[in-house]
Amino acid sequence: MFTGIIEESGRVAAFTPNTTGARLRIDCAIVRQDLHTGDSISVNGVCLTAVDLAPGSFSADLAPETLQRSNLGSLTAGALVHLERSMPANGRYSGHLVQGHVDGTGELVALDLLGDENWWLTLRVPPELDRYIVHKGSICIDGISLTVASLQNDLLAVTIIPHTYSVTAMREWRPGRRLNLEVDVIAKYVEKMIGART
């Protein structure tokens, strides 16, 4: 379980495809300090299992489902990725309930400077996820816990504060980029419960 509060932007050291998936190696510092083999770690919002630990880096295996549903398959060496360790039981919940189970990807439409280092991020969401997104609700975008500021048709927008922009990989994002999306899991449970009663 995660909170969507990015601890560090790591850098992809290697992306190695194999027969049924791929292996990702990431250089990092902060999250590596107490990371152990088998620990869960969020990479761009995707819950992965840390393996092959080395000083200043770790690896993770990517299943075919992960490659299909997320943007991890398009990573190349040198790319920045958002990292977050799983939340300890005695930790403080600073973001929102994030499972690391990506529902799909959205397309970055624009990242516009509002002023005073604040940004307005607009992305196009797939129609099958739209029903789970509400104005002022929480959404996880590439592992970042954010609040929905605007919803118009298939366009979703969030405000990015200076701190978030400075500690994430957003400075490398360009229109057209695929961004991992995880909607609020509570909305999906509610839909299933209501559907079972009708």
Say if CB 113 and CB 37 are below 8 A apart: no
User: E-strand spans in 63-102?
Assistant: 80-85
The 3-state DSSP class for residue 50 equals: coil
Kindly report the number of other CB atoms within 10 A of residue 161's CB atom: 12
DSSP code of residue 100: S
One-letter amino acid at 2 equals F
DSSP conformation letters of 18-50 = -SSSEEEEEE-STTTTT--TT-EEEETTEEEE-
Question: Strands of 80-85's sheet, edge to edge?
Answer: 46-49, 40-43, 80-85, 8-17, 22-27, 57-62, 51-54
What are the residue numbers of the active site? 2, 40, 47, 49, 63, 101, 147
